[in-house]
Amino acid sequence: QQQVKQSPQSLIVQKGGISIINCAYENTAFDYFPWYQQFPGKGPALLIAIRPDVSEKKEGRFTISFNKSAKQFSLHIMDSQPGDSATYFCAARGGNTPLVFGKGTRLSVIA
């Protein structure tokens, strides 16, 4: 039973374009939704996170959109750059339980 479903599995975007990665969850007890970024040979690192009391959070070129009623959240990367090429994981957690991760999206930004 997959608690967090992530799509697409891979994504190719032109430099300057918008990258969009989507996640859906079932557990209504989840109250923390982070996105992690992982470069080859490195561990994942927190990129941006949101709690369900807001519908959007923006940090620089990265935005999380959150739809509580649909139980969906997405990551938007504006003005995508080659340096954004990485694997992105959405995750979710309720209370102090461990993070549950999506399966990841491999993003390639091409010039």
Partner 1 sequence: DVKVTQSSRYLVKRTGEKVFLECVQDMDHENMFWYRQDPGLGLRLIYFSYDVKMKEKGDIPEGYSVSREKKERFSLILESASTNQTSMYLCASSTGTEAFFGQGTRLTVV
Q: Residue 13 or residue 47: which is nearer to partner 1 going by CB?
A: 47
Of 12-20, 36-44, 57-65, 73-81, the window that binds partner 1 (rule: CB under 8 A) is 36-44
Q: Are 92 and 98 in contact (CB under 8 A)?
A: no
Please report, as residue ranges, which positions from 42 to 61 form the binding site for partner 1 (by CB under 8 A): 42-46, 49
As beta bridge partners, residue 66 has 73
Q: Are 111 and 85 in contact (CB under 8 A)?
A: no
- Whole-angstrom Cα distance, residue 100 to residue 111? 33
Q: How far is the CB of 47 from partner 1 (least distance, A)?
A: 11
Q: Is 26 in the site for partner 1 (CB under 8 A)?
A: no
